């Protein structure tokens, strides 16, 4: 069995964080889940509280905290446009001050630290698919900038802590990921379409629906995160993790209608400002360095996600915390 490590997961109660915590607890590590529950709820990790190698701390990452750990997975940050635009100043603070606090912890403890960065660092890309070498086209003053620029500054901080202080950093650029336990009211395309299809409501296509995204199932993504943390020494990335299969939003809607057997019709609404027209990861590097690639098809992933949406009590999910 691998050596047990002390690991903190910031944003550990969220969609990806809770699955990552499950995985790390199952591997026998001593896991600290740290979250302020802005876009998540305790129910996501309730089942882990029975394990004596799991600990839950309510904490906001913009406040300092002193823990002794071997590894940090830094996931704390609202991820859905509706969530990160709820309080954009706080979103930037979470990315930037959160990064500084946990890089400081990694430096003090000699810990490895992985940053959940995003395909949004590429903005509305002029290069397709997007390799890690592409520097991006982000509107610094648009409504998505709080998230995109916050994540870009976090990447800068990670590389500066590496250069200045020798901190072992790992940068992962995550592309759209979905699956059970995603927030049903996060306003993202997969959750919206599934809820609408199951309720027989109209499916809201923003713009003409020809914009594309590449959707990765959460198990594939979590596997990639763990591989990157345990990847080659002196390999900070950045590395793209995502599923290269690319779909238009119209194709996604059709597939969700097909799987659910819904009679929902489409309705067209205005495209949000700065909405990227296309997005597809170039995962050559992840294949080469981590021997990683997604294994779950969109149909299989959506089927599992739809099953979960059918079984959960949607009333139990609350919108983002006020006063955040």
Residue 204 binds ligand UDP, judged by CB under 6 A: yes
Site string for ligand UDP, 229-268 (x = CB under 6 A): --------------------x-------------------
Residue 123 vs 231, nearer CB to ligand UDP = 123
Clarify whether 147 is annotated catalytic.
yes
Choices 75-83, 104-112, 264-272, 290-298; region in contact with ligand NAD by CB under 6 A: 75-83
185 binds ligand UDP (CB under 6 A): no
Select from ligand UDP, ligand NAD, none the partner in contact with residue 213, using the beta carbon and a kind-dependent cut-off of 5 to 8 Å. Answer: ligand UDP
DSSP for 215-248?
Answer: -EEHHHHHHHHHHHHTS-TT----EEES---EEE
Which C-beta is closer to ligand NAD: that of 4 or that of 43? 43
Q: Report long-range pairs for 250-254 (Cβ below 8 Å, ≥24 apart).
A: 250/205, 250/209, 250/210, 252/189, 252/190, 252/193, 252/213, 252/215, 252/298, 253/193, 253/203, 253/205, 253/209
Q: What is the 3-state secondary structure (H, E, C) of 35-95?
A: ECCCCCCHHHCHHHCCCCCEEEEECCCCCCCCCCCCEEEECCCCCCHHHHCCCHHHHHHHH
Q: Is 162 in the site for ligand UDP (CB under 6 A)?
A: no
Determine the longest span between alpha carbons in the chain, in angstroms: 58
Residue 171 binds to ligand NAD (criterion: CB under 6 A):
no
Site map 274..293 versus ligand UDP, x via CB under 6 A: -x------------------
Q: Which residues are catalytic?
A: 147
Residues that bind ligand UDP (CB under 6 A): 80-81, 176, 188-189, 192, 204-206, 211, 213, 249, 271-272, 275
């Amino acid at each position: 069995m691998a050596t047990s490590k002390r690991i903190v997961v910031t944003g550990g109660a969220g969609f990806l964080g809770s699955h990552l915590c499950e995985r790390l607890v199952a591997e026998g590590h001593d896991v600290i889940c740290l979250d302020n529950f802005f876009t998540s709820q305790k129910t996501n990790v309730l089942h882990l509280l029975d394990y004596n190698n799991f600990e839950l701390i309510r904490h906001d990452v913009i406040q300092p905290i002193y823990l002794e750990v071997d590894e940090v997975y830094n996931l704390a940050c609202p991820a859905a446009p509706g969530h990160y635009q709820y309080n954009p100043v706080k979103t930037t603070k979470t990315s930037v001050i959160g990064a500084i606090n946990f890089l400081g912890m990694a430096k003090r403890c000699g810990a490895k630290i992985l940053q959940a960065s995003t395909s949004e660092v590429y903005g509305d890309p002029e290069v397709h698919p997007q390799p890690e070498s592409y520097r991006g086209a982000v509107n610094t003053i648009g409504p998505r900038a709080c998230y995109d620029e916050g994540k870009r500054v976090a990447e800068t901080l990670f590389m500066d802590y590496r250069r200045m202080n020798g901190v072992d950093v790992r940068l992962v650029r995550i592309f759209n990921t979905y699956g059970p336990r995603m927030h049903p009211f996060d306003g993202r395309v997969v959750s919206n379409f599934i809820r609408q299809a199951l309720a027989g409501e109209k499916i809201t296509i923003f713009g003409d629906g020809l914009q594309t995204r590449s959707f990765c199932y959460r198990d594939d993504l979590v596997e990639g995160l763990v591989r990157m943390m345990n990847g080659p020494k002196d390999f900070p990335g950045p590395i793209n993790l995502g599923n290269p299969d690319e779909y238009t939003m119209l194709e996604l809607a059709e597939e969700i209608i097909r799987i659910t057997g819904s009679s929902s019709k489409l309705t067209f609404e205005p495209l949000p400002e700065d909405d990227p027209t296309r997005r597809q990861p170039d995962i050559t590097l992840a294949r080469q360095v981590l021997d990683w690639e997604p294994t779950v098809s969109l149909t299989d992933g959506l089927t599992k996600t739809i099953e979960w949406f059918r079984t959960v009590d949607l009333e139990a999910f609350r919108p983002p915390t006020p006063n955040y």
